[in-house]
Structure 1
Amino acid sequence: MRAAVLTGFGAPLSVRSVPEPRADGGEVVVEVLATCVLPYTGEVFGGRRDYPLEPPVVPGPGGVGRVVRVGPDATRLRVGDLVWCDPTVRSRDDALTPDIMLQGLSSRGEGGARLARHLPDGAFAEFMRVPTENVHPLPPEALDDPARWSCLVVYAIPYGGLLAAGLEAGETVLVSGSTGNLGSAAVAMALAMGAGRVIAPGRDRAALDLLADRFGRRVRPVELTGDEETDRDAMSAAARGPIDVVIDLLPPAAPSSVTRTAAMTVREFGRVVLMGGVGMLGGADLALPYPWLMRNSVTVRGRWSCPRTANVGLIRLIASGTLDLSPDRIRTFPLDAVNDAIAYAAAHGGPFDRTVLTPRAG
């Protein structure tokens, strides 16, 4: 089969012939129809994000495809099934604190690195090997536009965060980083899950206007000034009431002060979920005040990716039209143009811009 291989950080990907994977027990082989290229992919492959990939490796987190082989312990999946492949792989020998890796992208700790060595190759290939529990059937209509459905990987992240926050219908959510690729998906996700209103702070006026145009009165844009007190007051005023949940999806280059400003708008007994990259490149600590946390009974939690069960819920939301992906702008590239796709994704990382690789299109 053909695959795009990262031979070393800073080098362009090389499309070459590699051995086709085989399914052992607990595994499935999928023909990859479409996989989303994240806007920061070039930063990862260039080494600027210092992700623990171990070249040579076939990268690519998750994708839409058809099952071509199943292991002997699969009881429901069948050859030919259209499926979503969740990149969040967990070790099977510790139910309480499993090691985690994002197949084709990253891992956590030595245990995650061991998982990545066992399943090193991601979706930038004609075929990929995936743990059985990471393969989720899609509705037949997904075959009409597998490229759009492959963008599920973008929405799964904020969905996992909002589930972790216990978001309830009618609540007010503030999305820190709302004008970015992941943050704008969080705005859409919160509304699909029943948020009464979403506060959308950011510096990009055009992106804020795009959010307001797409979602109407339930979204309250706030243009940030950089002054913590001024911005906190503006976000609180836009909510016109208590802010129940704050979710942060800011990238590594963002200063921790922006996350802190947003977090401290949450009401007493409110919830703050951290899912972004703040601090990964160094800089000041988040430094939420101890007295404020304690006296206001605020819950702060981190969430890396989403739980396995979230995939089913997210697929249902999209299939029902509750989460509408039709306005997303999709640009597709064939496998041979993988480096063009990475460059395009980096240049088009705004709200609802999606870049998709189609290794087995047609």
Structure 2
Amino acid sequence: MYAMTIPRPGGPEALVWAEVPDPVAGDGEVVVDVAATAVNRADLLQRQGFYDPPPGAPIYPGLECSGRIAAVGPGVTGWAVGDEVCALLAGGGYAQKVAVPFGQLLPVPKGVDMVSAAALPEVTSTVWSNVFMVAHLRPGETLLVHGGSSGIGTMAVQLGKAVGATVAVTAGSADKLAACRDLGAEVLINYREQDFAEMVSADVILDIMGAKYLDRNVDALAVNGRLVVIGLQGGVKGELNLGKLLTKRAAIAATSLRPRPLAEKAAIVAAVREHVWPLIEAGNVRPVIDRTLPIQDAAEAHRLVEGSGHVGKVLLTF
């Protein structure tokens, strides 16, 4: 098969389309013929040499895909050759075929085409596991989503709205804020011009920035609020005022999805299938796709995501 390889770390030009060995379905795995994958910021970090895949994972970038099952390994139940699926991956989505633990498979939702389904596994798993399984967002509460126009952000806005929360977002332009409003966000904050900590009191905050926003995130938390950090675009070390945290009886959690054990990922995927897939199939939640490019244009897709010029997901097709 062919895959987008990284012979040496670097800029987008470091991505090289090359022939590589085909994957084999091991115990508890299926092989998927990939129809599409999506670009995530983790892929950019991996290309730069900063985020290696977990041990045993495919070495090529790509944290999600859609396609058809081509082979089924021993110990797999509930899936068969020919099934149309999308999948959460630890790596390998930028390849014509990928081996996937069967607990990380999801059916392509009704009403969603196979290519668009590639936009769903990573964002739904990230948002559901953090906003709902960790932070326990409840109806009537306020959710603040940083980077509301990103792939994760657009899904968080929709799921927050779907469960009856008031959703606030930060974004860097009027166009991006308008896109968030169209998805259900009610409090729109331009982070270039406004201080979110002065504009919202949030029960749950989903944060991609890390250190840069830490102090103001605590300011923005309501009493009994929960801050979940899932990204470090603003740095890894910040000063935490424990006095403010105590006064608000608030909590901070930090999580990552890619390196989790298979059983934890399978539990998250099962929860997504139970809670999120019905919302998608009912038309209440949808994948938000900025554009779709052929896999050979992966470098261009990386430049686009690095420049933050997109709304939603950027997909790569085979």
Which of 227, 235, 251 is 1:272 aligned to? 227
Which of 258, 261, 265 is 2:213 aligned to? 258
Deviation of 1:231 (Å):
4.5
Indicate whether 1:186 and 2:146 are aligned: no
Q: What is the match of residue 186 of structure 2? A: 219
Indicate whether 1:26 and 2:28 are aligned: yes
Instruction: Label 1:208 to 1:247 Cα distance change in 2 as closer, same or farther (>3 A).
Output: same
Which of 136, 161, 164 is 2:106 aligned to? 136
Q: What is the match of residue 336 of structure 1? A: 296
The unaligned stretches of length 5 or more in structure 2 are 258-264
The unaligned stretches of length 5 or more in structure 1 are 88-102, 105-121, 237-242
C-alpha separation in 2, matches of 1:76 and 1:322:
27
Indicate whether 1:249 and 2:208 are aligned: yes
Deviation of 1:262 (Å):
2.6
CA contact (8 A) 2:28 2:102 kept: yes
Q: What is the match of residue 3 of structure 1? A: 3
CA contact (8 A) 1:165 1:273 kept: yes
Instruction: Label 1:85 to 1:168 Cα distance change in 2 as closer, same or farther (>3 A).
Output: same
Question: Which one-letter code corresponds to 2:159 in the other structure?
Answer: M
Greater C-alpha Rg: 1
Deviation of 1:210 (Å):
3.0
Which of 151, 156, 173 is 2:119 aligned to? 151
TM-score, normalised on structure 2?
0.83
Q: What is the match of residue 235 of structure 1? A: 200
C-alpha separation in 2, matches of 1:215 and 1:75:
37
Deviations 1:230-281 (CA, angstroms, capped at 9, x unpaired): 6422334xxxxxx32122123x7xxx3433213322222222211121565x
RMSD in angstroms over aligned alpha carbons?
2.8
Percent identity between matched residues is 27
Question: Which one-letter code corresponds to 2:186 in the other structure?
Answer: V
Secondary structure of 1:309 counterpart: helix
Deviation of 1:66 (Å):
0.8
Deviations 1:153-179 (CA, angstroms, capped at 9, x unpaired): 234322221111111122111123334
Instruction: Label 1:43 to 1:270 Cα distance change in 2 as closer, same or farther (>3 A).
Output: closer
Secondary structure of 2:269 counterpart: coil
C-alpha separation in 1, matches of 2:150 and 2:215:
18
Aligned residues: 302
Deviation of 1:135 (Å):
1.8
CA contact (8 A) 2:68 2:84 kept: yes
5 Å-filtered alignment, 1:102-181, equals 103-104=90-91, 122-142=92-112, 145-152=113-120, 153-163=122-132, 164-181=134-151
CA contact (8 A) 1:42 1:343 kept: no
Instruction: Label 1:347 to 1:268 Cα distance change in 2 as closer, same or farther (>3 A).
Output: closer
Q: What is the match of residue 119 of structure 1? A: none
Q: What is the match of residue 246 of structure 2? A: 294
